[in-house]
Amino acid sequence: MGRRIAILLSGRGSNFLAIYENILRGKLDADICAVISDRSKAPGLLKAKELGLPSFFVSFKDRAKGEEETARIIEERGADLICLAGFMRILSANFVRRFKGKILNIHPSLLPSFPGLDAQKQAFEYGVKYSGCTVHFVDEGVDSGPIVKQAIVKVFDDDTPQKLAERILREEHKIYSEAIKLVLDNQYVIEGRRVLFKKK
């Protein structure tokens, strides 16, 4: 049986589309079994509908109810892995524990530097010479879970936060699918906080 991933998004869903394309191209062996959004008009959700993927708007006006419905969809659809792709809500500790070790997120910085919002602008303004992106398991904190994969992006003297964000996004589109593959292949162990991959 194929490996099934659910995607949660709030915006344009560019990482969702990159995952979708990597599946089409045979780079990632998985099915997208649900695209769930807390915003009914999120461009990523509309795109998922256009593509004929199982698409769900879930209201988070009441967070507990929103999470409950999200969990129900995920379980009904038989997702093996939940991938946050620009999902702009913090999931409760309850939700995270329910899907422990089954939720991935991507963050546009080299964590633990620059967690939270506007990570690319934070990095730019701090004056780091390298930034990047991080795929990590989601735990109860914000951008704090064990790291699966990172990529490096150089910051140039003549950069802008926007240009830097675009270059980071291109790396996100690559490493998220690679990280999903690593996790779905289930060939890893977690020692302390270190995610280590066994050679196949």
List contacts with its own copies (CB under 8 A): 110-114, 124-130, 132, 146-147, 149-150, 152, 157, 192-197
CB-CB contact of 108 with 173 (8 Å): no
Which residue lies nearer to its own copies by CB, 72 or 193? 193
Nearer to its own copies, 25 or 198 (CB): 198
CA 37 to chain CA centroid, nearest Å: 13
SS3 111: coil
| b (16+ CB within 10 A) / e for 77-100 | bebbbbbbbbbeeebeeebbebbe
Catalytic status, residue 107: yes
Q: Nearest distance from residue 49's CB to its own copies, in Å?
A: 35
Q: For its own copies, which is the closer residue by CB, 50 or 191? A: 191
> Least separation, in Å, of the C-beta of 76 and its own copies?
33
- Min CB(178)–its own copies separation in Å: 12
Q: C-beta of 127: minimal distance to its own copies in Å? A: 4
Q: Given the DSSP bridges, would you call strands 31-37 and 81-84 parallel, antiparallel or unpaired?
A: unpaired
The three-point CA angle 198-86-132 to 5° equals 55
The residue (of 64 and 156) whose beta carbon lies closer to its own copies is: 156
User: What are the backbone dihedrals phi and psi of residue 174, each rounded to the nearest 5 degrees, phi first?
Assistant: -80, -55
Closest CB to its own copies among residues 102, 149:
149
CA distance to 43, 84, 85, 122, 182, per residue, from 14 (Å):
9, 12, 8, 21, 20
Helices within the chain (DSSP H only): 14-24, 43-50, 63-76, 93-98, 119-126, 161-184
Residue 159 CB, nearest distance to its own copies (Å)? Answer: 9
Catalytic residue among 3, 47, 107, 167: 107
Residues annotated as part of the active site: 107
